[in-house]
Structure 1
Amino acid sequence: MILPSVFFSYCHADEELRDQLEKQLAMLKHQGIIETWHDRRIIAGQEIDKTIDEHINSDDIILLLVSPDFLASPYCYDREMRRALERHDSGEATVIPVILRACEWHHAPFGKLMATPTDGKPVKQWADLDDAFLQVAKAVRAAATHRQTKQAALASPSARATPAAGMPPGVVASSLPAQSRPGPRSSNLRLAKTFTQRDKDQFKAETFDYIAKHFENSLNELEERNPGYEGSFRRIDANRFFSTIYEDGKDVARATIYLGGMLGGINYIQGEKLDSNSFNESLSVDCDDQSLFFTNLGMSAYGSSRGQKLTQEGAAELLWEQLIGPLQSRSNHPHRR
């Protein structure tokens, strides 16, 4: 039985996320459940467009790695995505939208399909990328198993008994090769990446700015959704900002988030502190052989446990939970008010 082949339709701006996803699919490949292909497998001398077209027209499962860059790409959106949906509608392939980054994807032609990770929550908004891509891997496993079951049913004696129209006796459509595929090759082609101190410093600075914007927007939204509550955001300088939540005019939560300090990371401390280098929680930049991420000390009772690989979104959400977590716990116990 030919293994279901998985085609990655993606924009090169999301190549790092594609690599992370393929790593999560490794178990399925080890078990002989799927094989994978993307355009980085094109070898010297092959025609790029022709080779991609061969796969988009023959592979069994097509993953649309959706992001703002994917939607803005004429090649991804107008060519690969539209052809993928044609094959999905005809039953030739299974299309699975994988939402990598937040974007207006619900109104796209594939918006009618069940997306992954769970509930279409963008991968980058998960506190841990591994958790998000695990959901994707489970969806791919289910799709591959379904296609193999269907293929086995078509190949059964009862299915072979009736020849397809226009074919000689004993020959049925399911016994014909869909299309010739490239010869066997390893999918283990990933090489380790290296990250300089400049890369880490830039990632940390960009994440701090992201966290500041995340807090400012969250405070505004909190105020709109919860009558009686007000949020206040104040940027002190490039490396520090204050966030305050008021209930009926009384401050019920205050925090300072600052860059640097003793550990040189991104730090959270309760209250408004202009010069303090202490912290209640701290995030540090780390890396593996593929990507940069944050880890936290796990000093607080609120937020993710220590040891997770946090994206920018995951880091912001963990620190936001330090601010709002005590209020949420209090609201679950009205007698504490």
Structure 2
Amino acid sequence: MPNNAFISYAHADEKRLERLHKHLVMLRRDGSLQAWSDHAIIPGDNVGQTISAALAQSSLFIALVSPDYLASNYCYEKEFQRALQLQAEGRLRILAVILEPCDWLNSPFSQILVLPKDGKPVSEWTNENTAYLNAVEGIRRALAATPSPGPDVGAEGTGVTALGTARRVRVKQQFDAIQKAEYAEAAFRTIQTYFQNACAELHEASDQIRARFELMGPNAFTCTVVNRALMRNGEAHITVRQARGGRMQVGDLSFVYQPHAEAGTSNGWMSVEADDYNLFLNAMIDGLGRSRDEKVTPEQAAERLWNNFVTQAGIEYE
């Protein structure tokens, strides 16, 4: 008997819902999943009652998270908050597919392992089909498990007050040295993959642009971009490293705007830190003569570092 999945989405993201449905086809064909969305509502149905019944019959809640989703009173304040209640009762498992960059880290979604991998938004993958495939693999793993209850945080764990007003659930925790080291490794891989894919895309973008990505071992890589349209100052170089100890290391990740640079040199750094709720990167990234000192995700750090890097070759993104 298939598992029922309730897909919650903002109507502005309907095309991405259609794409996800196509990637879920094998789960439907092998009888593992029956996905429900509000497309199943027909004229004359009571919308609220139909949605409530569909939620009650589902073992999986899949939220397609975007700025439009977080801004939707119905999706976020009604469907998602009801899903939090059902999760707290052990009747439902919540999954989230991050479609676009948005403030999901400051929502209850930050307490679950989101999809695709590392919470990298679908829109930022070089090939969106790869992102959907990664998400479907996560959904398949979730189907093999039973619904798990939400965090035991008393009345706030339901996500609503006694008067039905939405609350944001955040659970305090502490992070040990191993968790921070694993986060640093994952952050480096995220940045490495971003640069590798971005180099390939840039290389194909114009006959006047050449880009080269090169691994320097398991914990370092270097990139060169050449803009042949510029007679001077049309080159940019960068070396990025994950620190592995040593007195000359700065931060957990460092970078220098030189090709094949030796360890111990740096134009900026990123260190893994934590607040009461999340791990994050505290990044000092030099760009155009300015420095930044703030909390960022690995995906945000990768994009910002790449943009600063290619700007030196006279390349910008609209």
TM-score (norm 1): 0.47
TM-score (norm 2): 0.50
**Higher Cα Rg, which structure:** 1
